[in-house]
């Protein structure tokens, strides 16, 4: 804690510990680092522990020098219960049965083709309605002026027209998107590559939990691949700026908890250099960091592939990471396709919802 106070941040202190350890090739001595002798030296555990102890989850999420947007969609409990999922089918099958119904909508209407390993039509409620809305705006030639409020309305219209008007679209943010101006535009939350002062980055995670019958999902893989294609073609983000984690049989990187945390470190790495301070209301931009998660979630938790052994990723951990690591002048956008997605990042100052 003394090192945190002297160096100014938990991250700097953790990096200092790591530097000392690698230089001396052994665990830091008790005289120098005291309590570290009480347990095996683990830089990641130390960093997360320092963040948890020293940085409240709400701290700096609403900084005027950065913008944060969290897009989510969910079905109310009464809507999910219409599909009659029983308790022995898994803790989240009720809500995901609604998504399964959406996944079987005619592909010709929504452009949702293919399947999650088995040829079924695809899609998560949030991802597919989002992509349908932004593609429709692009075809109309108004994608550059599409507001976040209009996006939520268009997303809700997609699912409502297909029989699910009770679905709720929500956007949490650190800026008031209800006010007209650059900060209210979708192009601020997800800019093109040419609008970024440094290369954007995206971490796309799709988990179908195959082999666990009560947890298996249809469409998560398709969601991340569709998002990836949209980022590459429409926003012109470079392929080197994207990392995709799926539990597909031929997937290169598995979405285990340790891999997810390593990729989150990469997502917020500032090795591209300092960006200029960003006045989000003036519309000048630095870069963008996107987290897209398609899988299971619970109140304030995201479940990696190995969650039963390693545990979930907590909302507080994500919020602390964003607060500590998002570079000044950058934008962080999060698209969540999981149960209880609207329960994450509650420390953000503003929320807009679109429902029936």
Distance between CA 243 and CA 205 in Å, rounded? Answer: 9
Average pLDDT over residues 71-99: 47
Task: Supply the pLDDT for residue 106.
Answer: 35
User: 282-305: per-residue pLDDT in tens?
Assistant: 334 589 999 999 999 988 889 999
> Dihedrals φ, ψ of 74, to 5°?
-150, 165
Please state whether the predicted TM-score (pTM) of the whole model is above 0.75: no
Phi, psi of 328 (to 5 degrees): -60, 130
CB count within 10 Å of CB 30 equals 11
Most confident of 15-24, 134-143, 193-202: 193-202
More confident residue, 279 or 139: 139
DSSP 66-134: -EEEEEEEE--HHHHHTT---GGG-TTHHHHHHHHHHHTS-HHHH---S-SSSS-----HHHHHHHHHH
Buried-state track 159-197, b at ≥16 Cβ within 10 A, e below 16: bbebebebbbbbbbbbbebeeeebbbbbbbbbbbbebbb
- In this structure, the strands spanning 201-206 and 288-294 are parallel
Q: What is the DSSP letter of 28?
A: P
Q: Is it the case that residue 70 has pLDDT exceeding 60?
A: yes
- Please tell me the predicted confidence (pLDDT) of residue 208: 93
Statement: residue 230 has pLDDT above 50: yes
pLDDT tens-digit profile of 153-174?
A: 999 999 888 777 888 899 999 9
Predicted confidence (pLDDT) per residue in 294-341, tens digit: 999 988 889 999 998 888 998 888 988 898 888 888 999 999 998 888
203 in helix, strand or coil?
strand
Complete domains list, the chain, with CATH? 10-54 (no CATH), 67-77+121-273+281-353 (3.40.50.1460)
Task: Give residue 327's pLDDT.
Answer: 85
- Whether 276 has a pLDDT exceeding 70, the answer reads no
Average pLDDT, the chain: 75
Tens digit of each residue's pLDDT (9 = 90 or more) over 247-257: 998 878 899 99
């Amino acid at each position: 804690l003394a090192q945190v106070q002297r160096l100014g941040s938990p991250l700097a202190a953790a990096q200092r510990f790591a530097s000392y350890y690698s230089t001396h090739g052994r665990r830091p001595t008790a005289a120098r680092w005291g309590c570290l002798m009480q347990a095996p030296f683990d830089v990641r555990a130390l960093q997360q522990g320092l963040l948890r102890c020293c940085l409240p989850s709400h701290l700096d999420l609403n900084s005027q020098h950065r913008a944060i947007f969290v897009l989510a969609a969910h079905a109310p409990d009464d809507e999910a219960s219409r599909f009659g999922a029983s308790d022995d089918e898994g803790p989240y099958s009720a809500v995901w049965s609604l998504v399964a119904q959406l996944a079987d909508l005619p592909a010709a209407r929504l452009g949702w083709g293919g399947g999650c390993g088995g040829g079924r039509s695809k899609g998560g409620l949030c991802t597919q309605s989002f992509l349908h809305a932004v593609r429709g705006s692009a075809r109309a030639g108004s994608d550059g002026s599409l507001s976040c409020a209009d996006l939520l309305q268009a997303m809700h219209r997609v699912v409502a027209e297909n029989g699910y008007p009770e679905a709720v679209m929500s956007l949490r943010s650190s800026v008031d998107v209800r006010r007209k101006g650059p900060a209210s535009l979708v192009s601020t939350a997800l800019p093109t590559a040419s609008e970024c002062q440094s290369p954007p980055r995206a971490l796309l995670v799709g988990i179908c939990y195959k082999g666990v019958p009560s947890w298996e999902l249809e469409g998560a893989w398709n969601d991340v691949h569709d998002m990836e294609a949209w980022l590459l073609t429409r926003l012109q983000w470079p392929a080197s700026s994207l990392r995709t984690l799926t539990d597909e049989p031929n997937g290169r990187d598995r979405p285990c908890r340790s891999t997810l945390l390593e990729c989150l470190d990469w997502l917020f790495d500032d090795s591209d250099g300092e960006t200029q301070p960003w006045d989000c209301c003036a519309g000048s931009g630095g870069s963008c960091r996107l987290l897209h998660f398609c899988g299971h979630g619970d109140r304030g938790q995201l479940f990696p592939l190995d969650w039963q052994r390693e545990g979930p990723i907590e909302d507080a951990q994500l919020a602390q990471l964003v607060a500590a690591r998002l570079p000044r002048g950058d934008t962080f956008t999060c698209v969540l396709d999981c149960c209880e997605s609207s329960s994450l990042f509650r420390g953000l100052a503003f929320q807009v919802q679109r429902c029936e």
